[in-house]
Amino acid sequence: MSGTGNGTEGGTGNGTEGTDGGRGRLGNVLSGLAVAVGCLLFLGGFAWAAVEYRPYAVPTNSMSPTVKAGDRVLAQRISGGDVRRGDVVVFSDKQWADMPMVKRVVGVGGDKVACCDADGRLTVNGKAVDEPYVKGMIGGRASTEDFDATVPQGQLFMLGDERSGSLDSRTHLADQAQGAVPRSAVDARVDALAWPLGTMIERPEGFAALPGGVSGPGPLRLLTAAVVLGALLILGGAAYGPVAGRLSRRPRARREAGEEVRG
């Protein structure tokens, strides 16, 4: 009889310990699930990024102020057929250099690219294009010298953002392709700076009004969010056990102290 009066000794009278045990088991299951999902997001995000992106070191200041010499950028692997005007791309062309180069696409096959109009702006098929990254150039002009070129089909016309010193399509205007390079020469499209991480390379609005518009951003923000969320879930799930154990010991100690006083 003495073991069933208030349930404190047998643990079956008020059911508090059984309830705490149930909550503890549920918490352990949820914390384990959080860690599992976190690992999936964390490792999956890194794996996806490794497949989708490649890091490159920018060798010169020809793309300043967008990217500077020594910057490391994250470039999404794409087909040359996916390139649009305004994209900053990594490409290889032996007529230009023996290393990968980073330039901005300002014209595609069939375009007539010229500079400069009365306001010093680049024109594509007679339409002026506002380029905020050239505002600091000499005289605010989109090119230090006037030029015009018709881009052959399947080719891309490239310019650096630092128009006063960049060796780009203007340097090769006397070539058969009038300075353009094949789409097949493109290896990747630059999405962001590797550091500080999350500094995205925005598509210039000046090209958006042209046929085909500008390309959309790659999945880098989504991948970064997956990795961060995964890390938080792993830390939160791993911390549950020690925190829950410490919190559960406090009411148990108070109950034991109360039993001793009543006894």
Question: Where in the sequence numbering do the catalytic residues fall?
Answer: 62, 103
88-91 and 199-200 as β-strands: parallel, antiparallel, unpaired?
unpaired
Q: What is the spatial distance between Cα 59 and Cα 65, in angstroms, rounded to a whole number?
A: 14
Q: How long is the chain?
A: 263
Output the CA angle 213-158-203, nearest 5 degrees: 35
Helix (H, G, I), strand (E, B) or coil at 81: helix
Q: What is the spatial distance between Cα 68 and Cα 57, in angstroms, rounded to a whole number?
A: 10
Closest CA relative to residue 28, chosen from 234, 241, 257: 241
Show the tokens assigned to 159.
């310019």
- The residue type of 198 is G
Q: What are the percentages of helix, strand and coil residues in the chain, rounded to 5?
A: 40, 20, 40
- Among all chains, which residue has been given the structure tokens 């991480």? 197
- Among all chains, which residue has been given the structure tokens 């085909």? 212
CB 129 within 8 Å of CB 152: no
